[in-house]
């Protein structure tokens, strides 16, 4: 982005963040469902799930963090759709504002809001007994992967917000994303899953991301799984970014 575009993005991001600060319920509601899942699976189902003797909240947390992000990015699609339908973007078109700044402002706001929600969920996990052997570098790697995952899903949210015909349609795209961790190794090991379900769980994007985060947080060797996780995140991010920019050129001019 040029200096002009960066300045416009900073201004519009500030505007979007102020809206979030005036309505912190969006962050709270983003964190509520993952926390409910934590409580349900740890205190209701946790005793019946065998994870090789590991603390179940330690095993569970990486998948819960991904659900937190999938839940949070729905607000990006919602806010972008409202801006488009409310005529705000049309007013921007009559001003010397970089068109890319409109989208990037929503994306950066999503990253900040989701990071806050992730901190809240992780804090609750610590209260519930979560413990980690991760060092500083491992935590930086965890944050980096979560930010990359957030960017990928946020650009999918932007794509949904641009293409949707209704508010419900704008945010409905997140439902499959929230459900996807349930068909992965996020909640239970894949070894005992039925054949077709196990194959899907082991070859869909959430499983390598969850297993990478789990290894980093437990202080164990990550192996080649991290490269698979990064490839899924980067591939989804690039594809969504290309598609969203193609649609935005038609809608925003």
> Which of these, 171, 177, 163, lies nearest to 246 by C-alpha position?
163
Residue pair 13/105 in contact by the 8 Å Cβ criterion: yes
Return the higher-pLDDT residue of 145 and 10.
145
User: What integer is the mean pLDDT of 230-240?
Assistant: 95
Burial of 109 (0-12, 13-18, 19+ CB in 10 A): buried
Indicate the range of 35-44, 79-88, 119-128, 210-219 predicted with least confidence: 79-88
Measured between alpha carbons, how far is 167 from 182 in angstroms, rounded to an integer? Answer: 26
Check whether 211 has a pLDDT greater than 90: yes
The predicted pLDDT at position 139 comes to 96
The predicted pLDDT at position 251 comes to 64
């Amino acid at each position: 982005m040029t200096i002009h575009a960066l300045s416009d993005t900073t201004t519009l991001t500030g505007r979007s963040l102020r809206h979030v600060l005036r309505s912190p319920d969006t962050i709270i509601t983003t964190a509520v469902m993952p926390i409910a899942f934590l409580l349900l699976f740890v205190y209701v189902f946790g005793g019946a799930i065998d994870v090789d003797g590991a603390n179940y909240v330690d095993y569970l947390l990486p998948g819960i963090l991904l659900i937190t992000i999938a839940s949070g990015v729905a607000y990006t699609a919602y806010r972008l759709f409202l801006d488009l339908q409310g005529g705000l973007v049309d007013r921007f078109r009559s001003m010397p504002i970089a068109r890319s700044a409109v989208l990037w402002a929503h994306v950066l706001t999503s990253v900040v809001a989701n990071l806050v929600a992730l901190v809240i969920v992780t804090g609750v996990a610590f209260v519930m007994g979560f413990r980690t052997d991760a060092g500083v570098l491992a935590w930086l790697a965890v944050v980096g992967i979560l930010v990359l995952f957030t960017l990928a899903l946020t650009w999918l949210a932007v794509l949904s917000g641009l293409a949707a015909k209704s508010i419900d349609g704008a945010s409905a795209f997140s439902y499959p994303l929230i459900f996807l961790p349930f068909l992965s190794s996020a909640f239970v090991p894949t070894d005992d899953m039925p054949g077709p379900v196990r194959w899907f769980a082991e070859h869909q994007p959430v499983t390598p991301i969850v297993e990478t985060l789990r290894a980093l947080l437990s202080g164990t060797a990550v192996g080649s799984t991290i490269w698979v996780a990064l490839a899924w995140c980067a591939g989804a991010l690039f594809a969504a970014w290309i598609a969203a920019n193609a649609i935005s050129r038609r809608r925003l001019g």
